[in-house]
Amino acid sequence: MDAAQWLADDEPIVGVVDPGTDAASPSGTDIAATIEATVPDLGGSIAAESVAEILSGDPSLFVAIGETGLIAVARRAPDVPVLPVGSVPGIESVAETDVADAFTALADGDAIERRRPLLGVAGPGTDDRRRALFDVTLVTNEPARISEYAVESRDDAVAQFRADGVVVATPAGSHGYASAVDAPRLSPAIDAVAVAPIAPFTTATRRWVLPHSDLVLSVERDEGDVRLLADGEPIDTVLPGERAVVDADGRLTTIVVPGISTRA
């Protein structure tokens, strides 16, 4: 882990990604106002636009508000560190009320970087490849409509089962939705994914820890539309006999401020 340096004399640009429509957080803190009041005092400037627009301005740092903001940054996999703000399951983040203190710590060099693995997946009917920081899922479009799925890892058959779906989670994602379907929780120190059926027809169905590359999900029998999603965003519909390949696809560097960042 490298020290995350905030070089004020280099006039850093801070890109703020806040997908919310209300600037006030649930705790009542106006995060945008706090950042606007803090960053210029440390010699930096702020860009509050889309991720693509911020990247075109060569930012030094991203600030991602909440899980949705962090997902938006991760999809671009920028070569720029990101400071998560707000509660984000599986990721150390800064509380809204501690943003000013976190920036002061960054200015003093009192922060570390952690590289989070990303997954990449494309639907069988599209070349639109998406990245996922938390999870990739195959799931029936209608609740309680069981289909049959197969999982294959590096050309070896792992399992075939009937369920509402199947989830593939990164170490960060294993603390979120995947934990609700009893997927194993993973340490961020390993390059692996947790794979689990969603509402399996047979309760004895197993869960697995598998390598995070060359993983194949397929639909063997379809009793309802099956969708492929990356971090909750629909990508494609998967038909019986079609396959979705999940691979490692880069990493996202997040900033952790000791004594300030906490994990939900």
The number of distinct structural domains making up the chain is 2
Q: What confidence score (pLDDT) does residue 143 get?
A: 64
Reported as a single tens digit per residue, the pLDDT across 131-186 is 999 999 999 877 666 789 999 999 999 999 999 999 999 999 999 999 999 999 99
Q: What confidence score (pLDDT) does residue 109 get?
A: 84
Evaluate whether 165 touches 201 at the Cβ level (below 8 Å).
no
Instruction: For the chain, give the percent of residues with pLDDT over 90.
Output: 58
Q: Does 42 share its domain with 27?
A: yes
CA 190/CA 168 separation, integer angstroms: 15
Residue 179 region, left (φ>0) first, then alpha (ψ -120 to 50), else beta?
alpha
Tell me how crowded residue 187 is: count the other CB atoms within 10 A of its CB. Answer: 8
Q: What is Dmax (Cα atoms) for the chain?
A: 61
Return the structure tokens found at 153: 């890892």
Q: Does 81 share its domain with 168?
A: no
Average the pLDDT over 40-50 and give the result: 83
Q: Does 149 share its domain with 70?
A: no
What domain range includes position 196?
119-249
Residue 86 phi, psi dihedral angles, 5° rounding:
95, 175
Average the pLDDT over 236-256 and give the result: 93
Chain centroid to CA 169: 9
Residue 87 predicted with pLDDT over 70: yes
